[in-house]
Amino acid sequence: MSRFEFERLAVPDVIVIKPAVFGDARGFFSETYRKNEFAEVGITEDFVQDNHSRSGARILRGLHFQIVPQAKIVRAATGRIFDVAADLRPGSPTFRKWVGTELSDENMHQLYVPPGFAHGFVVVGDSADVCYKVGPTYYVDDTERGIRWDDPDVGVDWPVGDPLTSERDRTAPSLADIEPQLVSWFGDLGRG
């Protein structure tokens, strides 16, 4: 019996993961990760770290990425977020394209963000706790980079007007500014 449904988005390397949820009057039970079933759809990274963040209403975090390629599996443990992945792999047919989906404690969906993608989210409710697995590398401060959350070359259609962002996210470079470095960071990622 499969414990998950996997849905590829318009950028097919990004996958929505829909776990089976077993509930009754006492509550629910759901698996959030199962290595063998994820591997069947190509999610094969060795996830080495779990992270947890809390954000208030209209908080937007992103668009962030690591220059040492790192994948993520993201879920909203509480609340609702609009979660986004933008393809930064210069050799990819979906380079500069983004996809987004709602993740919430109600739908229990997760988003697989492959290496070579920028990631961000905005809280669309009062608050949200966001949990995510990362791998195959650990997070290291000096390998994190970002692009502007409102970069016109990416064109994310955020569902929250006037989001609250950090100074770092407001002053991040544009994709055009960092594009010359992408090949050295992401090499052949995204080439069939």
User: Catalytic site residues?
Assistant: 64, 132
CA distance 148 to 40: 34
Cα–Cα distance for residue pair 52/149, rounded to 1 Å: 21
Task: Considering only the C-alpha atoms of the chain, give the largest distance between any 2 of them, rounded to a whole number of Å.
Answer: 55
For tokens 């609340």, name the residue. 79
Give whole-number Cα distances, 124 to 49, 75, 134, in Å: 26, 14, 23
> What are the strands of the beta sheet with 15-19, ordered from one edge?
4-8, 15-19, 110-113, 71-78, 127-135, 49-56
Residue 115's nearest CA partner among 37, 45, 57 is: 45
Tell me, what DSSP letter sits at residue 79?
Answer: S
What distance, in Å, lies between the first and last C-alpha atoms of the chain? 31
Write the CB contacts of 158 (distance below 8 Å, at least 6 apart in sequence): 60, 82, 84, 122, 149, 150
